[in-house]
Structure 1
Amino acid sequence: MSAKPKLTYFNGRGRMESTRWLLAAAGIEFEEEFVETKEQYEKLCKDGALLFGQLPLVEMDGMNLVQTRAILNYIAGKYNLYGKTLKDRAHIDMYVEGTMDLFQMILMFPFTPPEQKEKQAATIFEKATTRYFPVYEKALKTHGQEFLVGNSLSYADVQLLEAILAMEEIKPDVLAQFPKLQAFKARISNIPTIKKFLQPGSQKKPPADAAYVATVLKVLTIE
C-alpha cells in the first residue's frame, strides 16, 4: 500500500487549503507537517525540497511537488477530477484560474491592517459578485447540469465551493442574488467525501487568526 501524501505548510489555510479540499474530495487520506519556525523553513530550502524556495510542499508518488497549480493539477488528474476530454480540461482550467484570482484577495485579507479591513472586505465582495460569481451562475444555468463541466465532479467544482464558503465568512449573504450557486453549494456540500471534510474534527482549517498571521510573517520575513 502506498504511503499517504504528506503536506508541509503552516498550520492554516493559505495556499495549501485547496490541496486539502481536493484530496478530501477524492477520498484520499493525508498527513501534515506544520512549519512553525524559520529554521524548519530554511532546512527545507537547504535540503532542496522546495524547488523555488516556496511553500506549499506535497510529497507523493516519490515526488516533491511544489507550486500550487502544479500540485492541484496533478492531484486532479490522478484522481479523475480533471474532466474526460482535453476540452473539459480547458474549461476546468479557465474556471479554476478565475477562482484563483478571487482566492488571491481572500488569502491576503487576514494580513490586511485592521483599519483597512472594512474597505477591503467591501472590495472583495464587489469583485466576487460582479466579476466572478456571475460567470459561474451563468455557466450552471447554460450547462443545465449539476456540475460546472461535464456531468461529473471536477476540480473546478471543489474549488468553487471552497471559494463560496470562504466568501460567506467575509459576507454571509454573498450568494443572495445567485440562486444557481445557492443550489450548487447545497448539492456539492452533500457529496459524501466533501460532507465529511466539512464536519468538525476534519483537517479543514479554520479562518486565519492573529497567531497564524504572526507565524507566517515570522517564518517568511527576510532579516
Structure 2
Amino acid sequence: MATKPKLYYFRDRGRMESIRWLLAAAGVEFEEEFFETREQYEKLQKDGRLLFGQVPLVEIDGMALTQTRAILSYLAAKYDLYGKDPKERLRIDMYTDGTLDLMTMIMVRAFKPPAEKEETLTSVVKSAKTRYFPVFEKILKDHGEDFLVGNKLSWADIQLLEAILMVEELDASVLSDFPLLKAFKTRISNIPTIKKFLQPGSQRKPPPDSQYVALVRKILQF
C-alpha cells in the first residue's frame, strides 16, 4: 500500500492551501503535521529537509519537496492535471501564475497592520474585478468550453476556483458582473472530489486569524 503524502505546515491556509486543494481534487488522501513550536521547524532545518529553509514541505514518492510552485507542478503532472502537451502546460502556467498573484495579495493581508487591512481589502477586490476576473471571463467566452484548458479539469481550474472563493470571503458579490465565472464556480465546485473538499470537516482550512499570525511570527521569527 502506497504511503500517503505528508504535508508539513501551519494549521492554516498560507502557501500550503493550494497544495491541499490539488491533492483533494485528485482524490488523494494526505496526512498533515502542524507546526506548534519553533523547535519543530528548527528540526526540519537541521535535518536538511528544507532546501532553502522554507516551508511548505511535502513528503511524497520518497522525496522531500519544497518551493510551492515546484510542488504544485509535480503534483499536477503526477495526477494528470497539467495538460496534454507543452502548449497546454504553458497556458496552465500562465493562468495559475495570475491567480497566485491575486491570492498572494489576500494571504499577506493577514500580516498587515490593522490600519492597512481595509485598504488592502479594497485593493484586492478592485484588482479581482478589473484585472483578473475579466481575463478568465474572456477565456471562457472565447472558447466556450467548461474548463480553462483542453476542455478537461486541470490545475488552472482548481486554483481559479480557490481564488474565487477567497475573494468572495471579502466581497460576496464580486462575481455579479461575471456570469461565465459564476457558472464556472458552480460547475467546478460540483466535481465530486472538490465538492467533498468543500464540505465541513474536510482538510480545507479557514481564513487566517490573529492567533495564526502570532504563531507564524513566533515560529519563523519575523
- What band does the TM-score fall into relative to the shorter chain? over 0.9
Q: Given the alignment of the two structures, is residue 180 of structure 1 paired with residue 180 of structure 2, yes or no?
A: yes
Identity score, percent: 67
Deviations 1:160-190 (A, max 9, x none): 0000000000111111111110000000000
Deviations 1:38-85 (A, max 9, x none): 111111101001000000000000000000000000000000000111
Looking at structure 2, the residues matched to 102 and 155 of structure 1 have their Cα atoms a distance apart, in angstroms, of: 16
Match in the other structure for 1:80: 80
Matches within 5 A, 1:53-202: 53-202=53-202
Deviation at 1:117, TM superposition (A): 1.5
Matched AA of 1:130: T
Secondary structure at the counterpart of residue 16 of structure 1: helix
Matched AA of 1:76: A
Matched AA of 2:211: A
Looking at structure 1, the residues matched to 112 and 124 of structure 2 have their Cα atoms a distance apart, in angstroms, of: 12
TM-score using structure 1 length: 0.98
Match in the other structure for 2:52: 52
* Structure 1 residue runs of 4 or more that deviate by more than 4 Å after TM superposition: none
Deviation at 1:28, TM superposition (A): 0.1
Structure 1 residue ranges without an equivalent (≥5): none
Aligned length: 222
TM-score using structure 2 length: 0.99
Structure 2 residue ranges without an equivalent (≥5): none
Match in the other structure for 2:212: 212
Matched AA of 1:131: R
Deviation at 1:37, TM superposition (A): 1.1
Deviation at 1:115, TM superposition (A): 1.8
Looking at structure 2, the residues matched to 129 and 65 of structure 1 have their Cα atoms a distance apart, in angstroms, of: 34
Looking at structure 2, the residues matched to 44 and 156 of structure 1 have their Cα atoms a distance apart, in angstroms, of: 31
